[in-house]
């Protein structure tokens, strides 16, 4: 077989640890690639187009864009850097021929840098290293470059993979340098390096059509779009094809539309060839990892594989007395349909049935990934109840094994004590400690995934917001033993009604409350945290015998401690095994699984 190449195309993915500046660099590349008019108003981090991405300031889904540079089309995939979305990076690496590895000039390589680089090296993708945020006052580019070399060696990179080009960027300003003290230039050297380092797509001219579907999208006019790379052959509008599903099933289909990318736009094209990244309409049923193949000679491509889920939780219908007040979709059938739909687009999520028809076990790569799924569903009008996130376990040679993570902590020296103590109670073992000599230390731990549930919130409080903690799945190890979860009980409402300030005033000395006057509660709802270990049933709706109105108003202003308002993630971390989070489009509430007090004892 003789290979041919498409010299007018380059396909690359931008990979990095979270927040190292991928999406910001894509902005600058789009501007300098002439995608926007000079006076056009464009949002910062324009590729982070999902509402939740903008709110949280992180990328959640990998996305495609394209620019044209000196007659060559450069298809760029921006990927998320948060560990929970690692599956997104894994799937997109299947459509590119090279990667740009960004590393923060001050932070250096962090756990997710290791993960994404390992995946790229395994696929033999040549990297361009970009040391970004070179403008940071604490930038230490020379030391960071050494750490990057160490990382490559540690990951068993081949000789030629060690020969990577390095550029120094300020993504925010859209500039780059060839060495840390060279003159500042536009991104021109970066574009030139992409053409040199990323190989042009290679294909077999004799092979029939094969398109690997790596992503899905939806368009109001044309419906579902399958996005992927044409590996071999040609694809035209109107063409009859065969859809090869992951389970081996083959069904005929017809392409109604073929689009290419130009900046942020999809543009209709007549025909696409090998190496092109296309969006294809006409396939009502299609999932990620499937192949669009020739109708006469269908040859499925190897399926996309990603790492296993590590965290799991049960998502069920909302059974609270307030069910159906806010949401449009409340039945288990609706819930099931929605979760099944997620499976088509999200390769790193797993959904299983449980022993009740009203609940499903949903597993993913981390609590943030699962919380984001729940958040997306509530915004689409779903109501549900969600159980405590737990580690996935598996049996290896007759013993229960659990996922372990590499945890890297960076914090001021004075917090070494509290951090080692807190990780210790969560069954973490310190494996390395480096003192930068700057007053900050870097510590590495091996810790069970379940030990990290709820860790972040506590860690930020313990280090007064100055610590950075990152983790990465490491390996499956024998069960590490019990980890004490919350050592406090719950204050549970013993009847339904509205919360009164009078009741709060009397209950607040016993713990922290989650509700405020006027909130509606029901029997079995968790309204606060009891400072002691046991749960207590409380009447949070108790009215004062009103003898003097004015005096009671004055009381309120003086005595009420503001309630603790938890985010959805915090609520999920907080609950115990016998508790649930009720999620509706408008609110989330904590509750006991069993609502009636008489059945709980």
CB 156, CB 143: distance < 8 Å: no
Distance CA 374, CA 362 (A): 10
Q: How many residues bind Mg ion (CB under 5 A)?
A: 3
- Distance in Å, CB of 19 to Mg ion, minimum: 8
19 binds, among ligand GTP, Mg ion, none (CB under 5 to 8 A by kind): ligand GTP
- Binding mask 92-121 vs ligand GTP (x if CB under 6 A, - otherwise)? ------------------------------
Closer to ligand GTP by Cβ: residue 177 or 591: 177
Phi, psi (rounded to 5 degrees) for 328: -95, -30
- Distance in Å, CB of 15 to Mg ion, minimum: 11
Answer yes or no whether residue 171 interacts with ligand GTP by CB under 6 A. yes
Answer yes or no whether residue 346 interacts with Mg ion by CB under 5 A. no
Closer to Mg ion by Cβ: residue 17 or 388: 17
The single residue among 24, 291, 363, 500 that binds ligand GTP, judged by CB under 6 A, is 24
275, 189, 182: which is closest to 229 by C-alpha?
275
- 277 three-class SS: strand
CB 391, CB 311: distance < 8 Å: yes
Answer yes or no whether residue 471 interacts with ligand GTP by CB under 6 A. no
Distance CA 158, CA 161 (A): 5
Q: How many residues bind ligand GTP (CB under 6 A)?
A: 21
Q: Considering only residues 562-581, where is the footprint of Mg ion by CB under 5 A?
A: none
**Residue positions counted in the chain:** 601
Please, what's the largest Cα pairwise distance for the chain?
95
The interface region with ligand GTP, picked from 17-25, 315-323, 408-416, 585-593 by CB under 6 A, is: 17-25
Please give the structure tokens belonging to residue 512: 């922290």
The interface region with Mg ion, picked from 16-24, 93-101, 219-227, 436-444 by CB under 5 A, is: 16-24
Count of other CB atoms within 10 angstroms of residue 234: 15
Answer yes or no whether residue 486 interacts with ligand GTP by CB under 6 A. no
Answer yes or no whether residue 59 interacts with Mg ion by CB under 5 A. yes
- Binding mask 49-68 vs ligand GTP (x if CB under 6 A, - otherwise)? ---------xx---------
The single residue among 118, 136, 442, 498 that binds ligand GTP, judged by CB under 6 A, is 136
Please give the structure tokens belonging to residue 52: 């939740």
- Distance in Å, CB of 407 to ligand GTP, minimum: 18
The single residue among 19, 84, 410, 529 that binds ligand GTP, judged by CB under 6 A, is 19
How far is Cα of residue 376 from the mean position of the Cα atoms in its chain?
12
- Binding mask 18-57 vs Mg ion (x if CB under 5 A, - otherwise)? ----xx----------------------------------
Distance CA 289, CA 274 (A): 18
Closer to ligand GTP by Cβ: residue 135 or 262: 135
CB 105, CB 132: distance < 8 Å: yes
Answer yes or no whether residue 10 interacts with ligand GTP by CB under 6 A. no
Answer yes or no whether residue 18 interacts with ligand GTP by CB under 6 A. yes
Distance CA 44, CA 270 (A): 33
- Distance in Å, CB of 172 to ligand GTP, minimum: 4
The single residue among 8, 135, 204, 556 that binds ligand GTP, judged by CB under 6 A, is 135
CB 442, CB 410: distance < 8 Å: yes
The owner of tokens 């050592």 is 487
Distance CA 526, CA 228 (A): 47
The single residue among 80, 298, 387, 451 that binds ligand GTP, judged by CB under 6 A, is 80
The per-residue DSSP string of 95-124 comes to G-SEEEEEEETTT-S-HHHHHHHHHHHHTT
Task: Locate the DSSP E strands across 163-239.
Answer: 166-170, 175-177, 202-203, 210-219, 223-232, 235-236
CB 155, CB 149: distance < 8 Å: no
Closest-by-Cβ residue to ligand GTP is 81
- Distance in Å, CB of 409 to Mg ion, minimum: 23
CB 103, CB 22: distance < 8 Å: no
589 binds, among ligand GTP, Mg ion, none (CB under 5 to 8 A by kind): none
- Give the interface with Mg ion as residue ranges (CB under 5 A): 22-23, 59
- Give the interface with ligand GTP as residue ranges (CB under 6 A): 16, 18-24, 45, 58-59, 80-82, 132-133, 135-136, 170-172
């Amino acid at each position: 077989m003789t290979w041919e190449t498409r010299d007018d195309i380059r396909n690359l993915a931008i990979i990095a640890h979270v927040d190292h500046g991928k999406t910001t660099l894509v902005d600058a590349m789009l501007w300098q690639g002439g995608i926007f008019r000079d006076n056009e108003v464009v949002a910062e981090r324009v590729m982070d187009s999902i509402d939740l991405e903008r709110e949280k300031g992180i990328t959640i889904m990998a996305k495609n864009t394209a620019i044209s540079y000196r007659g060559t089309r450069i298809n760029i995939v921006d990927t998320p850097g948060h560990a929970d979305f690692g599956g997104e990076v894994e799937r997109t690496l299947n459509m590119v021929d090279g990667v740009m590895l960004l590393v923060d000039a001050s932070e250096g390589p962090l756990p997710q840098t290791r993960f994404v680089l390992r995946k790229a090296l395994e696929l033999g993708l040549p990297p361009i290293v970009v040391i970004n945020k070179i403008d940071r006052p604490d930038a230490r580019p020379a030391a960071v470059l050494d750490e990057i070399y160490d990382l490559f060696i540690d990951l068993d990179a081949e000789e030629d993979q060690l020969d990577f080009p390095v550029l120094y960027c300020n993504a925010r300003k859209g500039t780059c340098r060839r060495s840390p003290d060279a003159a500042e230039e536009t991104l021109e050297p970066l574009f030139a390096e992409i053409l040199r380092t990323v190989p042009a797509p290679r294909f077999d001219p004799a092979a029939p059509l094969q398109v690997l579907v790596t992503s899905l999208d939806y368009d109001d006019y044309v419906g579902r779009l399958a996005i992927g790379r044409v590996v071999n052959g040609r694809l035209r509008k109107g063409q009859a094809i065969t859809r090869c599903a992951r389970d081996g099933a083959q069904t005929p289909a017809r392409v109604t539309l073929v689009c290419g990318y130009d900046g942020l736009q999809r543009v209709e094209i007549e025909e696409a060839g090998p190496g092109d990244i296309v969006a294809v309409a006409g396939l009502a049923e299609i999932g990620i990892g499937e192949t669009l193949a020739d109708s006469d000679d269908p040859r499925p491509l190897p399926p996309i594989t990603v790492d296993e889920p590590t965290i799991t939780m049960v998502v069920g219908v909302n059974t609270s007395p307030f069910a159906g007040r806010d949401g449009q979709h409340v039945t288990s059938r609706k819930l099931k349909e929605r979760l099944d739909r997620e499976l088509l687009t999200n390769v790193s999520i797993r959904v299983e049935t449980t022993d009740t028809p009203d609940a499903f076990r949903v597993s993913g790569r981390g609590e943030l990934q699962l919380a984001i799924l729940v958040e997306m569903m509530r915004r689409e009008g779903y109501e549900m109840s969600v159980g405590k996130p737990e580690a996935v376990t598996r049996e290896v040679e007759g013993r229960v094994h659990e996922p372990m993570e590499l945890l890297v902590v960076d914090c001021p020296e004075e917090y070494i004590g509290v951090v080692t103590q807190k990780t210790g109670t969560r069954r973490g073992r310190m494996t390395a400690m480096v003192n930068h000599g700057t007053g900050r230390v870097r510590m590495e731990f091996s810790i069970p995934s379940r030990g990290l549930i709820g860790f972040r919130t506590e860690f930020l409080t313990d280090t007064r917001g100055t610590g950075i903690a990152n983790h990465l799945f490491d390996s499956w190890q024998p069960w590490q033993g019990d980890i004490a979860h919350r050592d406090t009980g719950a204050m549970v409402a013993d009847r339904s009604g509205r919360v009164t300030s009078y009741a709060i005033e009397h209950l607040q000395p016993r713990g922290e409350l989650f509700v405020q006057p006027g909130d509606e509660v029901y029997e079995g709802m968790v309204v606060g945290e009891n400072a002691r270990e046991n749960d207590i049933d409380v009447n949070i709706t108790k009215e004062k015998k009103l003898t003097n109105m004015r005096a009671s108003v004055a009381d309120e202003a003086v005595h009420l401690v503001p309630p603790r308002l938890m985010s959805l993630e915090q609520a999920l971390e907080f609950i115990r095994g016998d508790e649930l989070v009720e999620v509706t489009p408008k609110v989330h509430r904590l509750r006991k699984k069993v609502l009636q007090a008489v059945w709980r004892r």
